[in-house]
Structure 1
């Protein structure tokens, strides 16, 4: 297991998948329910869904990006600290916080920092959460040691990742679901997968999130409580969680894809070779052809989008093997 190995610096910066819609309230609630169960010594596998405890004191959102993931935890914590290595992202996070209601924004703060060197006191945090960011840590073992250092003895660790989105066409009032519809949606997702894997420049680290679903990371985490195998103190949930966004036009979806780092890197490579090809335009045209809507404008074709989520929940970690 070599998840702690440092990945060589790439000449072209590749950031984490940034096309996820800002709708992760279900994830935040699942994490807090786990914390509640741990704090009350309940069976954490049931997630203690019946009640929510009063607010926890403090948490850190590692790799907070533009702050949306941090804001999801505002209802559950008195203080939420978001950290990101990018100053530009921290500025965006601070700007976003100012758009929220005063009660939410007052508990949010953001700093430029890395997960391997958190600017936080020992044993000060109830939760350390890596929001789609753990696989981007330069040294994962160092990030895990930092998580242990800043967590309270009864604190919890959470990390989650998402796969590539899956799409289906929104049916119009005069359309009905059929085997033909299923086949067309299957073909549409094959086109989308090809776009990500072959037309874009997917970073090796993304494999941990997209294909491995954090399984190797899960297997590498050890906790203070034993036994490790089948332990209720560390769980992985990759079957029940998903983020959905409905009634998205093809135009809006294309704009999401334009923000994907792998696509931006591919565009740079194409421009350097003086190529006029645009894989995104090709994908959109092929998608419309698959759904037999070639003549419709992109803002009149609606999709449903689903992101599968893999979530690791743990009590205070001992180390990363």
Structure 2
């Protein structure tokens, strides 16, 4: 697994849980519509604080969330207790490539929300395939970036500079992560996936890349149109592993999130950081079944 600040014991998982968005019910419905057969067991790889785990819980009898971050799992365990789901959900502290705690061939569905890029893809897909029953569902998805639609492409250029650029926080992404995130999965991922899975469906929505999109905004099941303020965006940036890594390595430099927001403020002509700005997210998701 690539190095990530999410594994630090002092990672601010409560802040992460508070500022990270959840996932739309339309996406959950799309995954469940694709699924065939029983709905007894679900595994959520890279479950983090359990945002996707708890969304899918009502559809299954037994649910397991797997994540290597003890800080993240502490939040998930707290919510599980509050919802009185101790007999239905369990959380396992392990990397996504290690599903040894789960009996092979017994799982109906595996999901992975915003986490595939943290894993060795070949090992991950082997483990998922081994864990799933024949024709079991594997679904994974990403939101990539919030695009300030009234100020494109200038605002997007700023986002790329600080979020993806190798001179700033993007330096903490390895080549495989960059490929997955910036190429909607990428060719390597698709090739490895097709070796073990069938009926692969890929859905992409990008407000700034019409050629890449496989659906329109009106037809996307993973559409996020919302508003955010630059103050809220700043807190979102501070939830990134990339941000934590940058601040760890640059303790004497000005806060990179402040610099990021200051530049966005200029291109968005927004002196008041609490003014709501329209945002659309680039998203993609994969649905597939284990080969028989």
TM interval, shorter chain, is 0.7 to 0.9
Stretches of structure 2 that go unaligned for 5 or more consecutive residues are: 8-15, 205-213, 215-219
C-alpha offsets along residues 223-249 of structure 1, whole Å, 9 cap, x if unaligned?
678xxxxx6x12211133534262322
Distance 1:317 1:135 in 2: 23
C-alpha offsets along residues 26-68 of structure 1, whole Å, 9 cap, x if unaligned?
32221111114xx4xxxxxxxxxxxxxxx71111001100011
In the alignment, what sits opposite 1:188?
155
Aligned counterpart for 2:186 among listed residues 198, 215, 224:
215
1:113, CA displacement in angstroms? 2.1
1:219, CA displacement in angstroms? 2.6
Match status 1:107 vs 2:74: no
Aligned length in residues:
262
What SS class does the counterpart of residue 250 from structure 2 fall into? helix
Distance 2:179 2:79 in 1: 29
> CA 1:247/1:98 → structure 2, altered by over 3 Å: closer, same or farther?
farther
In the alignment, what sits opposite 1:309?
283
Distance 1:105 1:187 in 2: 48
1:291, CA displacement in angstroms? 2.8
What SS class does the counterpart of residue 40 from structure 2 fall into? strand
Match status 1:252 vs 2:226: no
Distance 2:221 2:201 in 1: 13
Match status 1:159 vs 2:140: yes
Stretches of structure 1 that go unaligned for 5 or more consecutive residues are: 1-6, 40-54, 169-181, 226-230
Aligned counterpart for 1:73 among listed residues 56, 80, 96:
56
Distance 1:80 1:30 in 2: 19
Task: Summarize the alignment of residues 24-35 of structure 1 with structure 2, pairs less than 5 Å apart.
Answer: 24-35=24-35
Bigger Rg over Cα? 1
1:283, CA displacement in angstroms? 2.3
> CA 1:317/1:88 → structure 2, altered by over 3 Å: closer, same or farther?
farther
1:284, CA displacement in angstroms? 1.7
In the alignment, what sits opposite 1:59?
42
What SS class does the counterpart of residue 35 from structure 2 fall into? helix
Residues 245 and 304 of structure 1 are in contact (CA less than 8 Å); yes or no, is this contact kept in structure 2? yes
> CA 1:196/1:278 → structure 2, altered by over 3 Å: closer, same or farther?
same
Distance 2:255 2:200 in 1: 44
Residues 45 and 67 of structure 2 are in contact (CA less than 8 Å); yes or no, is this contact kept in structure 1? yes
In the alignment, what sits opposite 2:79?
96
Distance 2:126 2:30 in 1: 24
Task: Summarize the alignment of residues 113-128 of structure 1 with structure 2, pairs less than 5 Å apart.
Answer: 113-118=94-99, 119-128=101-110
Residues 241 and 310 of structure 1 are in contact (CA less than 8 Å); yes or no, is this contact kept in structure 2? no
